[in-house]
């Protein structure tokens, strides 16, 4: 059975937390995880690339010079793509930027479960119990990271009730702080260790059990 390290933020004591269910016991499938990562990164693209074609360039359509007798190659107006300031041929258009990579819900769930399971098997999942900050304190957050002996990069998952903890952890290098719905397969794989607050862990387990 996979286990996570349960760390008491007040006393500094640690113990093992048994992990069970498909959330932590799914065999990772590389091709499914790869599809999920590609889809997630593609969904974040803003698709703002846009080039002007020949008919969108401002200027006259008048022929630059007469056809014969100049010794130069014949030419039309100044708008073709092979002239400086001319229109681009075959460039990206906003209407062409909607070809997102797709992945169905079943594959996305399998990829997420597989990534979490891989972290659990490798002993890279942590749960912080009694995570309470009287006030935002980067020093206290750093001491917690040192107490867990994390090397980073580290993903810290907190809830809206952990606002002071979020303000404390976000100032640390190699630490990324996210909410329960702000991370996916890419963030899990990018981080070396994943740390959940107790509330974030219970929220994750409870919601995934309802989905299944």
Count Cα atoms within 13 angstroms, Cβ side, for 29.
11
Q: Digits of tens for pLDDT over the chain (212 positions)?
A: 788 989 887 777 888 888 888 889 899 999 999 999 999 998 887 777 888 988 889 988 899 999 999 999 999 999 999 888 899 888 887 765 556 788 999 999 999 999 999 999 999 999 998 777 888 999 999 988 988 888 889 999 999 888 888 999 999 989 999 998 999 999 999 999 999 999 999 999 887 555 65
- What local confidence, expressed as pLDDT, does residue 209 receive? 56
Nearest to residue 132, comparing CAs of 168, 102, 108?
Answer: 168
Cβ neighbour number for residue 165 with a 10 Å cutoff: 24
Q: Hey, what are 22's tokens?
A: 């498909």
- What local confidence, expressed as pLDDT, does residue 115 receive? 95
Domain boundaries, the chain: 2-45+101-211, 51-91
What crossing angle do the helices spanning 30-43 and 105-121 adopt, rounded to 10°?
110
- What local confidence, expressed as pLDDT, does residue 98 receive? 59
Nearest to residue 14, comparing CAs of 116, 122, 119, 128?
Answer: 128
- CA–CA dist 132, 197 (Å, integer): 10
CB 2 within 8 A of CB 115: no
Q: Is the pTM above the cut of 0.95?
A: no
Please name the fold of domain 2-45+101-211.
Ribosomal Protein L4; Chain: A; (3.40.1370)
- What local confidence, expressed as pLDDT, does residue 117 receive? 94
Q: Hey, what are 145's tokens?
A: 């990271």
- Radius of gyration of the chain, Cα coordinates, nearest whole angstrom: 27
């Amino acid at each position: 059975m996979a286990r996570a390290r349960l760390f008491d933020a007040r006393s500094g004591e640690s113990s093992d937390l048994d992990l069970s269910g498909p959330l932590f016991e799914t065999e990772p499938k590389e091709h499914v995880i790869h599809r999920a990562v590609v889809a997630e990164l593609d969904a974040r693209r803003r698709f703002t690339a846009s080039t002007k074609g020949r008919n969108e360039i401002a200027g006259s359509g008048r022929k630059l010079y007469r056809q014969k007798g100049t010794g130069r190659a014949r030419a039309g107006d100044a708008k073709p793509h092979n002239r400086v300031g001319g229109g681009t041929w075959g460039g990206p258009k906003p209407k062409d930027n909607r070809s997102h990579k797709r992945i169905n819900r079943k594959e996305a769930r399998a990829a997420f479960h597989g990534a979490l399971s891989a972290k659990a098997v490798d002993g890279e999942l942590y749960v912080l119990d009694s995570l309470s900050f009287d006030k935002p304190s980067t020093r206290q957050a750093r001491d917690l990271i040192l107490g867990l002996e994390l090397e980073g990069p580290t993903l810290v998952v907190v809830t809206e009730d952990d606002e002071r903890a979020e303000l404390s952890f976000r100032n640390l290098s190699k630490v990324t702080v996210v909410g329960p719905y702000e991370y996916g397969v890419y963030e899990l794989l990018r981080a070396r260790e994943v740390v959940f607050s107790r509330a974030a862990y219970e929220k994750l387990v409870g919601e995934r059990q309802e989905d299944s």
